Chain A
């Protein structure tokens, strides 16, 4: 910690002397409350993530730290992270330390950072930022016609909490080479990756072709396979995307078999729509790269300047000794009239893996502008499905007032009789106030009870735990 602070002080001093640039972000979260599912009383806890960036011409140096403080010493930690340097110049891109890399649309490797997502799991009960990066080095060169990159790193396994050793959190070691060549708006690419961890050593290879065939049509195809390892696996992904006038269409196809790499460092395209509606986001189908095939079709139609129609159909098949199928049909109309924005959706799904039959979801979001600076958002959502011949229902109602983008004050109520959640009916009631003090500081206060469950953001799904209490967040940028 001392070394980190010394480094930061030197950066500050250096930046003022050399007219270099210094910036950063911080997320500070204070909680007083309890997990309703855990057998413990309410307690105070604080989580903070601080990131600092220093830039001088084409060089960028970054440093960060996250820490968690609670009355339970075994859950507390201080972890330096996001440490590294990056140099970009004349096509060269060199990174040292922590860096992000995605290979083949996530088929071989996917790193990410889900902004604002602080996760906690029931086994470690420690909080950490939800991200996955590599600790190592990479070097790449990019030209208009071709590009190549070599990298070595230890990939973060964010299922293991920062209270554990770095070797446990970064057991997957990879060495990879990627290259691509471009001609006539087409790209041919290839990648090779060697994985080494405590359990296995495996080599993977991937080839992909992508490009634009016509001004209105582009495509991406990739095939990846194990080439040397204890077991065989493959991943095939293809997409065709087009737009003609006011009509847009995206068609995707997947076939993944035994393609979970290491602790799950890859994230092949899921081909399942990521919904922003609460009941649908929570009941999403989570991709199983062990064995999954299927397709997704999504169409857009701009009926008028203010009206967009979206239709989605998703099919996913899993074979785990027995067949499990997932089918979803989704339709949404988004329109504006007078001073109002209205979104209406309807969804029908069957999810055999989760044993949810005839799942019907529907609802609306109505946003009403009041005068020029005020607004109200009404959220109404309803979901019904059968599990083992028992009908389960979920209801969401929410009302949020906003003053421009400066102040939001919302009340959210959820109700469920899902037998997997509770033997009896259950209510969750909460209020959230978000206040943007200025362009650098935003505060958010939550009070009440939050319903947990699966959540998906930016294409990555994770588990949110129930929480009952008060939570204050301070998000700062400097």
Chain B
């Protein structure tokens, strides 16, 4: 019982202590099988990192909207990095699906889910806004119609 009380106390106190997470550089393969580094792909001002999977319906809904945001902000120092979390079962569908959806931003494969675990991603899609210092300044989970306006607002606020 003492152990449990300890654990619960810790659980309650930790969120108070926590601060915004920052990214450490990572390397993942793109759809051509080339290793790509985060530092080479990140935006000068802001980086949008989108975690998704081919079997995730809300992710499919979000991707065209993210492409629109990418086209709107890419000349203002904003880049988008797409992190695909498909496992062996469905990874073969990533290229045909993403190209059919006209996605032009880089797509990297986190087939081992290492990055997904490191950044505590528990919901798909999850969109992170990362500033030039590597600090995660916003986290958007799930996707419903109208969320694009909310994300656009976050981008504008982050760039001010």
Interface residues of A (CB under 8 A from B): 1-2, 5, 8, 12, 21-26, 28, 48, 50-53, 55, 57-58, 60, 65, 67, 69, 78, 88, 100-102, 105-107, 110-113, 115-116, 142, 144, 147, 182, 185-187, 210-212, 216, 218, 220, 239, 241-243, 246-250, 252, 267-272, 274, 276, 298-302, 305, 308, 334, 339, 341, 343, 365, 367, 369, 372-373, 375, 402, 404-405, 436, 439-441, 458-460, 475-478
Q: Which residues of B contact A272 (CB under 8 A)?
A: 89
B96 touches A268 (CB 8 A): no
Q: Which of A52, A248, A402 contacts B99 (CB 8 A)?
A: A248
Q: Which residues of A contact B143 (CB under 8 A)?
A: 405
A404 touches B150 (CB 8 A): yes
- B160, CB-defined interface residue at 8 Å: no
Query: Can you show 20 pairs from A to B with CB atoms below 8 A apart?
Result: A24-B18, A48-B11, A50-B11, A53-B118, A60-B24, A88-B24, A102-B87, A107-B88, A115-B123, A218-B33, A239-B92, A243-B99, A246-B100, A248-B93, A276-B57, A298-B96, A439-B138, A441-B15, A459-B86, A459-B90
Which residues of chain B (88-133) have a CB below 8 Å from chain A? Answer: 88-102, 111-114, 117-118, 120-123
Binds A, one of B1-9, B42-50, B73-81: B1-9
Q: Which of B10, B18, B26, B87 contacts A458 (CB 8 A)?
A: B87
- B32, CB-defined interface residue at 8 Å: yes
CA distance A163 to B83 in the complex (A): 36
A187 touches B92 (CB 8 A): no
Q: A12-B17, A212-B31, A270-B89 are in contact. Are A404 and B146 (CB under 8 A)?
A: yes
B88 touches A105 (CB 8 A): yes
Q: Which of A21, A65, A241 contacts B96 (CB 8 A)?
A: A241
A5 touches B10 (CB 8 A): yes
- Min CB–CB distance B70 → chain A (angstroms): 16
Q: Which residues of A contact B139 (CB under 8 A)?
A: 439
Closest to A145 in B: B35
CA distance A477 to B99 in the complex (A): 34
Closest to A405 in B: B142
B146 touches A67 (CB 8 A): no
CA distance A301 to B35 in the complex (A): 29
A220 touches B92 (CB 8 A): yes
Closest to B150 in A: A404
Q: Which residues of B contact A243 (CB under 8 A)?
A: 95-96, 98-100
B100 touches A369 (CB 8 A): no
A334 touches B33 (CB 8 A): no
- B22, CB-defined interface residue at 8 Å: yes
In order of increasing CB-CB distance, the 4 nearest A-B pairs are A248-B96, A459-B89, A478-B18, A243-B99
Closest to B1 in A: A69
- B69, CB-defined interface residue at 8 Å: no
- Min CB–CB distance B17 → chain A (angstroms): 7
A252 touches B34 (CB 8 A): no
Q: A78-B3, A115-B122 are in contact. Are A218 and B15 (CB under 8 A)?
A: no
Which residues of chain B (27-82) have a CB below 8 Å from chain A? Answer: 27, 31-35, 53, 55-57, 60-61, 64
A100 touches B112 (CB 8 A): yes
Q: Which of A52, A218, A339 contacts B95 (CB 8 A)?
A: A218
- Min CB–CB distance A239 → chain B (angstroms): 4
Closest to A281 in B: B55
CA distance A478 to B16 in the complex (A): 8
Q: Which residues of B contact A241 (CB under 8 A)?
A: 92-96
Q: Which residues of A contact B7 (CB under 8 A)?
A: 1, 5, 48, 50, 65, 67
Q: A22-B17, A106-B88 are in contact. Are A373 and B146 (CB under 8 A)?
A: yes
A1 touches B6 (CB 8 A): yes
Q: A305-B64, A405-B142 are in contact. Are A23 and B21 (CB under 8 A)?
A: yes
- Min CB–CB distance B35 → chain A (angstroms): 6
B33 touches A100 (CB 8 A): no
Q: Which residues of A contact B11 (CB under 8 A)?
A: 26, 28, 48, 50, 476
Q: A22-B19, A339-B145, A476-B15 are in contact. Are A112 and B97 (CB under 8 A)?
A: no
- Min CB–CB distance B124 → chain A (angstroms): 8
B18 touches A22 (CB 8 A): yes
A341 touches B113 (CB 8 A): no
B33 touches A211 (CB 8 A): yes
Q: Which residues of A contact B91 (CB under 8 A)?
A: 105
Q: A113-B113, A276-B57 are in contact. Are A210 and B33 (CB under 8 A)?
A: yes
A308 touches B60 (CB 8 A): yes
CA distance A478 to B17 in the complex (A): 8
B33 touches A106 (CB 8 A): no
CA distance A50 to B141 in the complex (A): 20
Closest to A82 in B: B117
Q: Which residues of A contact B53 (CB under 8 A)?
A: 458
- Min CB–CB distance A440 → chain B (angstroms): 6
A102 touches B95 (CB 8 A): no
